[in-house]
Amino acid sequence: MAKKCPAEMYLSTREFDEVKAVPDGAHQPRKGPWYCEYPAATIHFQHTAVVQLVKLANPDDEADPLWLVWNDDGRRSLRWRPGCLTELPSDDVEDLLCVLPAGHGGGCDPDQDNEYQPSAEMQQTITDAYHRMVAILTARAMGCPTVPIRDDEHAEAADDFARWGELDHTAHCPPDAACHQAAALSAAGDEAGFQEFIDRYRPPSL
């Protein structure tokens, strides 16, 4: 699979309002990020991404997509443009069309996945950051009376969490405190009981 152009862009507030105002829009509007549809190997002087499609009562009718078009020098616009109607050979997809705009330069591109895929290292960094945030929110939900974790997503909460992790809750916190009970289960080696207990305090999602 050919790599996509890594250029990304967010809609401005004005552009987002324009996308939201499209009658019968087929997609839930979002500001982004939007990634360029062009393959990385294709010479292209403008980046472009489809930011809205129009639902038509008759599925056989065609409607031009709304494209966000931008240049590296900051110029940008929203344009209704037809897509390339070149049908491409495929054993898996019937009537597979090129995903680029009509009149594009270079060869046609069937790859609809224009979502940027981070490297393994970056993915691990993202995963680690997510787990740290879940741990901080879980600890905050326990409401430790000795080391409360401030309601902040950045340095203060992380510093509080570090002190919270170093504290012997069984010695310093009341017996009925959630942090004391979690620490007691952990110290006893009851991994299943510890996991079941802290799951009550885990945020359902971030």
Return the domain boundaries, the chain.
8-97, 120-199
pLDDT at 44 over 70: yes
Question: What are 171-183's pLDDT values in tens digits?
Answer: 999 999 999 999 9
* Of 151 and 80, more confident: 80
* HSE-up of residue 122 (Cα within 13 Å, Cβ side): 4
- List, in sequence order, the alpha helices (H) in the chain: 13-20, 120-142, 155-166, 169-172, 178-187, 191-199
Q: How far is CA 89 from CA 94, 104, 132, in A?
A: 9, 19, 46
- Give the whole-angstrom CA distance, residue 48 versus residue 187: 56
Q: What are phi and psi of 15, to 5 degrees?
A: -65, -40
pTM of the model as a whole: 0.52
Which of 16-22's residues contact partners 24+ apart within 8 Å by CB, and which partners?
A: 18/78, 19/51, 19/52, 19/66, 19/78, 22/52, 22/54, 22/66
Instruction: Kindly report, residue by residue over 121-136, the tens digit of the pLDDT.
Output: 655 665 677 788 889 9
Q: 33: cis peptide before it, omega within 30°?
A: yes
Please choose, from the candidates 21, 8, 95, the residue with its C-alpha nearest in 3D space to the C-alpha of residue 52.
Answer: 21
Tracing tokens 């390339």 back to the chain, one arrives at 84
- The contacts of residue 110 (CB under 8 Å, 6+ apart) are 88, 90, 93, 96, 97, 98, 99
Tell me, what's the pLDDT at 144? 95
pLDDT of residue 99: 86
